[in-house]
Amino acid sequence: MKILVTGGTGYIGSHTVVELQAKGYEVVIVDDLSNSSVEVLDHIAEITGKRPVFEQFDLKDALKTSAFFSKHSDLGGIIHFAAFKAVGESVEFPLKYYQNNLVSLINILQGMMENKIRNIVFSSSCTVYGQPDKLPVKEDAPVQKAWSPYGNTKQISEEIISDTSKASGIDGILLRYFNPIGAHETALIGELPLGVPNSLMPYITQTAIGIRPFLRVWGSDYDTPDGTAIRDYLHVTDLAVAHVIAVERMLNGKMKQKVEVFNLGTGNGFSVMQVIESFERSTGVKLNYQIMDRRPGDIEKVWADTEFANKELGWKAVKSLDEMTASAWKWEKVLAQKGKG
Ligand code: NAD
Ligand code: WQD
């Protein structure tokens, strides 16, 4: 069975390709390498013993996308990761985000309709919940007005898939990720942040390795036990496995609705200070940090209700926070050795 993975050389995509190939799926990656490197293909081959088929083009290009789908009309399903994801950049350049994230999705859905390809798994985000009224947050919690153009592209994409599904044979699984961190156990693939990281985990590892002088902890006056903000961090390989399960649910005709939504998190919230403590415990490395004011746009606390994903998808995140922070550190050291950290 052939599966298209868009954004398959990226962070979450590359880990998912590894899990798909481990289960015997034939993978075709489409990526324009705007935020990843072609060497990732070698590393996937090193881990799995198989090099995925790779086509490099921009999914915003309707003609190229249509030609791709005509050539690969035998696809069993699509996992669509390709998108821009930097929240701050999306505030500065909203059109860049609306154009890339929405036009690419529309071109893919068009190609699916034209070639009668039924199944799409979409990378959504817990950002659609904003600051939920009730925690842990369930899938039926109201979607709140997006704070950033990036977040808005996720909300609009979910609606585009739902509307298209109603009017066609297309089925969709929308996966709302919480905070994926960590890297593959081999440290052959991981997250490659461009420039100064925005996210907590790469900022921690870059500080520990000496690229950044100290971590700025954004806010210590939140209504949480230690005053720092709480998120639901999950290991990227657990997240990757969920995609394989989602694809199989579609292929095996197990869906109960044409569009289904699942939260992907561990169900446990950890504060910024707890992540720092885990990093220090799992690596033995002391971290420099300073408490700062809150970061504008940050929410106070969010973690997932994972019951639906556990029961209905049959998926559960298994890796601990210490495994996440230790694997992120192993990856950072590999990057440093290669002069890429
Ligand atoms: P990433 O940047 O590492 O991977 C995305 C890949 O898509 C990159 O390799 C990039 O080159 C490619 N790409 C982007 N635009 C493209 C285009 N027009 N045509 C072809 N290729 C294109 O990001 P990631 O962290 O792996 O995220 C994957 C998906 O998951 C994204 O949709 C992101 O919004 C979503 N997501 C990520 C997180 C997170 O914290 N990493 C959380 C929630 C949701
Ligand atoms: C986590 C916590 C920060 C950096 C982002 C996106 C969201 C979604 C998930 C894609 C927060 C704190 C961070 C630092 C810090 N992604 N922090 N110092 O904010 O939950 O959300 O990823 O869909 O759309 O916005 O993740 O890793 O940036 O922050 O103290 O240098 O770490 O304040 O509490 P976040 P994050």
Which run of H or E residues covers position 5? strand 2-6
Cis previous bond, 202, omega within 30: no
Distance 275 CA to ligand 2 centre (A): 12
83 lines ligand 1 (CB under 6 A): yes
Which residue has the least CA distance to atom 4 on ligand 1? 10
CB of 172 within 8 A of CB of 182? Answer: no
Ligand showing the shortest atom-to-Cα distance for residue 127:
2
CATH of domain 2-181+232-264: 3.40.50.720
Which residue has the least CA distance to atom 17 on ligand 2? 200
Q: Given the CA of residue 80, which atom of ligand 1 is nearest to it?
A: 32
What does each of the 341 residues of the chain score in pLDDT, given as a tens digit?
A: 999 999 999 999 999 999 999 999 999 999 999 999 999 999 999 999 999 999 999 999 999 999 999 999 999 999 999 999 999 999 999 999 999 999 999 999 999 999 999 999 999 999 999 999 999 999 999 999 999 999 999 999 999 999 999 999 999 999 999 999 999 999 999 999 888 999 999 999 999 999 999 999 999 999 999 999 999 999 999 999 999 999 999 999 999 999 999 999 999 999 999 999 999 999 999 999 999 999 999 999 999 999 999 999 999 999 999 999 999 999 999 999 988 76
Which residue has the least CA distance to atom 30 on ligand 1? 123
Distance 75 CA to ligand 2 centre (A): 35
Query: What's the pLDDT score for residue 341?
Result: 62
What's the CA gap between 192 and 247, in Å, rounded?
26
Which residue has the least CA distance to atom 39 on ligand 1? 180
CB of 266 within 8 A of CB of 232? Answer: yes
Query: What's the pLDDT score for residue 338?
Result: 87
Distance 71 CA to ligand 1 centre (A): 24
Strands, DSSP E only, in 219-294? 230-231, 233-235, 259-264, 270-271, 289-292
HSE (side-chain half, CA atoms, 13 Å) at 273: 12
Q: Given the CA of residue 230, which atom of ligand 2 is nearest to it?
A: 34
Q: With CA atoms as reference, report the closest residue to 60 among 120, 119, 111, 3.
A: 111
Decide: helix, strand or coil at residue 155.
helix
